[in-house]
Amino acid sequence: MTRWVASSPGSVRRQPRRRLPYLGPPAYRDTPRWGFPALAWRWPTTVPGTRTGEFEPVTVERVRAVGGHSAAMMWTLAGLTLMAAAGEIWRYVLLLQSRGGALSDRLVASSDAVVTIGSVLALAFAVLAGTVTLWWLHLARHVAAESAEQDLPRRDWQVYVYLLIPGINLAMAGVVLAELEHHVLRRPADQRPTPGRAVTIWWAAWVVGGLLFAATVVWRLRGGVQAQADGVILSALTDLAAATVAVLTALMVRRISTLLAPLDPRKVRYMRVIRVDNAPPPRLRPVRPATSRR
């Protein structure tokens, strides 16, 4: 009884595969409708664990975040300086009323308290808001230069010197802001930076506020009742100028931040495909291939 039969092995050489002519890249008659997940469309930078390969979006987000804090502090500073200005005006009205008779101690103490509280809080918030705004300016300068593909016109330490030294900052603050606006608007590198209307208005308010502050400090050194009354008026004008500068600074920070990053991902609604109207039906295959798994 034969249980198995030995046969000679076949050829060890590989059989040449038949090469088909090139028919071009794969194509579909209609737009495929498969493979799209039912997920909301999201910005690449908002997906955790992903990297876009560029550092600009992250830096722009930092500029927007720091700019929001700076603008909020500037609005608070404007409110405090208006409070101090109202106290100074109240004090001047009391000085006019005191010419005809004595005033109540509580009334005078109340006006002094309003002026003192408003001035101290305004000074504290001015230091804090100025520090945050300087940090925002540092970030905005680098992001604007990178987006415009240009070099920084000045080094960081030079900008700090120009902005922190009294007297020099009145002349150079507008120059630094004009250079930042030049990069943000992506003007040519060989073109001289010229301040726009918003920068010019801010620069004028900044210079007027600085001159009023210097005049108030010098006038306070004089003695006499009339000098004190004039000092109250100068203090009120200085507080009003400081409030104007704070408001214009908040608007300028918001404007520059918006130009650097026009869209805020937190305010953009997620988009999701629900249906497609008036689309032609896809053409189905008449015959299913035998090699198809589904």
Q: Are 239 and 17 in contact (CB under 8 A)?
A: no
**What is the overall mean pLDDT for the chain?**
81
Question: What percentage of the chain reaches a pLDDT higher than 90?
Answer: 24
Those residues whose C-beta lies under 8 Å from the C-beta of residue 260, and which sit 6 or more positions away, are 60, 63, 64, 140, 143, 144, 147, 184
Contact 182, 193 (CB under 8 A): yes
Phi (first) and psi of residue 254, to 5 degrees: -65, -40
Do the beta carbons of residue 70 and residue 132 sit within 8 Å?
A: yes
Residue 51 has pLDDT above 80, yes or no: no
CB 58 within 8 A of CB 223: no
Across the range 37-60, mean pLDDT stands at 52
Average pLDDT over residues 114-121: 88
CA-based radius of gyration for the chain: 35
Q: What pLDDT sits at residue 275?
A: 79
Of 68-72, 100-104, 269-273, 280-284, give the range with the top mean pLDDT: 68-72
Is 121's pLDDT higher than 70? yes
DSSP helix/strand/coil, 41: strand
Distant-in-sequence, close-in-space partners of 117: CB < 8 Å, separation ≥ 6: 83
State in Å, rounded, how far the first CA of the chain is from the last one. 47
Helix axes of 156-164 and 168-184: crossing angle, nearest 10 degrees:
140
Q: Please, where are the H alpha helices in the chain?
A: 56-97, 105-147, 156-164, 168-184, 197-220, 225-260
Angle between helices 225-260 and 56-97 (to 10 degrees): 160
pLDDT for res 292: 62
The predicted model gives 108-122 an average pLDDT of 86
Q: Is the pLDDT of residue 131 over 90?
A: yes
Task: Report, as an integer, the average pLDDT of 243-255.
Answer: 94
Residue with tokens 């896809």, as numbered in its chain: 282
Instruction: Summarize pLDDT for 146-194 with one digit per residue, the tens.
Output: 887 788 888 888 889 999 998 899 999 989 999 888 888 888 878 888 8
pLDDT given at position 56: 43
